[in-house]
Chains A and B, each alone.
Chain A
Amino acid sequence: MAKNVCIITEYRNGDFRRVTHEVASEGRRIADALGTGLVAVALGSGISAKAPDLGKYGVDKVYVVDDPALEYYLAGVFVPVIAEVLKQLDPAAVLLPASVDGRDLGARLGARMNVTLLQDVIEVVVGDDGKIKAKWPMFSGKCFAWCEWADGVPPLLSIRPNIMQTQLLDESRKAEIEAASAPIPKPRASVLKYELDTSGKVELTEAEIIVSGGRGMKDAANYAMLEDLAGQLGAAVGASRAAVDSGWRPHSDQVGQTGKVVNPNLYIAVGISGAIQHLAGMGYSKYIVAVNKDADAPIFTKADYGIIEDLFTFVPALTEEVKKLKNS
């Protein structure tokens, strides 16, 4: 029998993270192209109850390791357990999320199993000969590279969140479950604190819409205006390096080559000039709107829609119009 394609899930706070469904859907597509099944390796505390739901996204069978010691991701625990399960499964290819933890896990797993991980993949093709090729953005997206693995090396790839289409196959489809056996090592590292923002703030790398402010915002307090607009749109708020360096926004909001690389459907750049490092981080957005009072700002050369206006008058007007739309 042909070897299966395998995904590694990411589970947090009692549920699979959305990116897991994206990875499953892409895994299903690859498995179909190879004419094989799709299996998953799922680690977590209390994960067994949810695991059958992965069937909806095309997973045939889930190998579950359900243990209280797997509440939080720690490389020292997850890597040996997953490596052991994968050794038994001997899959044709392994996919996992290029999330914060997934990237960490994948790199270490690749080294342990002596296969090479390709991180942050945005496109996968399967040739007629069954060979897998994958594409990833280098230089924060200023250039793309296609890669292939040597014969006999099973591809290991982490999939960038928010890129692959989620395919809900069938609401009632259930995956088969099997408890996988692997010893769970005692970690040398310990989790002192695990703090999640419960305000419902949208994570930049997973946001559909981002409203981002730059030096033009002039002051930390003025971001309330962007928060307002973002609230109406269900958007996340981002920032340029200039705004972060000025201390107006936390570093975790920085978009760009030394910040986050984002891929929303809509990116609204407010008071941002469009430096090459900033463009590198958001150039992959489906639609870009620029609001800037300087008609010569480079951001306008990349924007689908440009507004040459003072942001302090335009942003409130835009928020008003969005409100009207939402109420109509």
Chain B
Amino acid sequence: MNIVVIIKQTPDTETVIRLAPDNKRIVTSDIKWIINPYDEFAIEAALRLKEKHGGTVTVISFGAQRVVEALRTALAMGADDAVLIDDPQMRDADFLRVTRALVAAAKEKNPDIIFIGSRTVDYDQGQRGAILAEMLGWPHFALAISMESDGKDITIERPIEGGKVTLKAPLPVLVTFGGSHAVWNPRYASLPGIMKAKKKPLAVKKLTDLGLDPADFSPDKARIRITSLELPPQRKAGKIIDGGLDTSGKARELVKLLREEARVI
């Protein structure tokens, strides 16, 4: 079974976001980069599927050279090979075009199944999976919190507001992974894994290598653009309810404030 996992390198979730002077970008110079946590869940699910049914796991990403590190980590976790799309022409490409390049790279691997995180913790758009599937003409299942496959069909569970849906379809299917660390518990790269990863194939491709026309990716062809970034209003520390009150006195005072000052209860 050819399993493809699409990953993205994102800033560590610890990152405090600062804006560049033009208010159009964030400051990235001192950022620690990680694999998008949801993409890690996708890698974990792919490795489990491979352990059960055999096959290969290819990880694909788009981004600058620093993304090699994320791909090597995925290889160290147990993936077999990796592809990085690195083309300066794509730097300001919008969601649809980034995804088009990812689709082209994925197709080269003749995938039976594609896994991807349900959203990235940087842009938080939660679009990649559905767009990829649409471009491939495949069905997709989004936000999986469980995944079973016998190599022919796939069954997943997906949470909805106040409930859960169980879905089944024949392959090929694209699955986006939701849930949280407690659900997928992605493995760490072992030391032998890290050693082996150094020798695993990692191809770097440009748009033309994927049969795409770089002209289609020029910034003026963007269908959507970010005009400015802003930081949320700083929340300030409010009052500590004390005033020498005992426990029930504080509780009474809090209820009073929530009722009369905040008017939320």
Binding site for B on A (CB under 8 A): 17, 72, 74-76, 79, 99-101, 103-104, 106-108, 110-112, 114-120, 133, 136-150, 153, 187-197, 201, 203, 205-206, 208-209, 233, 241, 244-245, 247, 251-252, 254, 257-259, 261, 265-266, 276-277, 280, 283-284, 286-289, 295, 300-309, 313-314, 317-318, 320-322, 325
Binding site for A on B (CB under 8 A): 11, 13-17, 19, 26, 37-38, 94-96, 99, 121-127, 129-131, 133-135, 139-143, 145, 155, 158-170, 173, 179-183, 222-232, 235, 237-242, 247-248, 250-252, 254-255, 257-259, 262, 264-265
Residues A266 and B262 in contact, CB atoms below 8 Å apart: yes
Contacting residues, chain A, for B129 (C-beta < 8 A): 107
Known: A139-B122, A306-B238, A320-B251. 5 other contacts (CB 8 A): A140-B121, A188-B139, A286-B264, A301-B237, A306-B241
**Given A143-B26, A144-B232, A304 and B181 touching (CB < 8 A)?**
no
Residues B224 and A150 in contact, CB atoms below 8 Å apart: yes
Name the residue of chain B whose CB is nearest to the CB of A284: B232
**Given A188-B170, A257-B13, A325 and B124 touching (CB < 8 A)?**
no
Contacting residues, chain A, for B183 (C-beta < 8 A): 251
Contacting residues, chain B, for A142 (C-beta < 8 A): 15-17, 231-232
Partner of B229, one of A101, A143, A148, A317: A143
Residues A110 and B225 in contact, CB atoms below 8 Å apart: no
Within the complex, the shortest CB–CB distance from A112 to chain B, in Å, comes to: 5
Residues A108 and B237 in contact, CB atoms below 8 Å apart: no
Within the complex, the shortest CB–CB distance from B157 to chain A, in Å, comes to: 8
Contacting residues, chain B, for A141 (C-beta < 8 A): 232
Contacting residues, chain A, for B159 (C-beta < 8 A): 100, 252
Residues A143 and B230 in contact, CB atoms below 8 Å apart: yes
Contacting residues, chain A, for B242 (C-beta < 8 A): 308
Residues A317 and B225 in contact, CB atoms below 8 Å apart: no
Residues B124 and A193 in contact, CB atoms below 8 Å apart: no
Name the residue of chain B whose CB is nearest to the CB of A148: B227
A189, A244, A303 — most chain B CB neighbours (10 Å):
A189
Partner of A189, one of B169, B258, B259: B169
Residues A75 and B130 in contact, CB atoms below 8 Å apart: yes
Residues B168 and A189 in contact, CB atoms below 8 Å apart: yes
Residues A314 and B250 in contact, CB atoms below 8 Å apart: yes
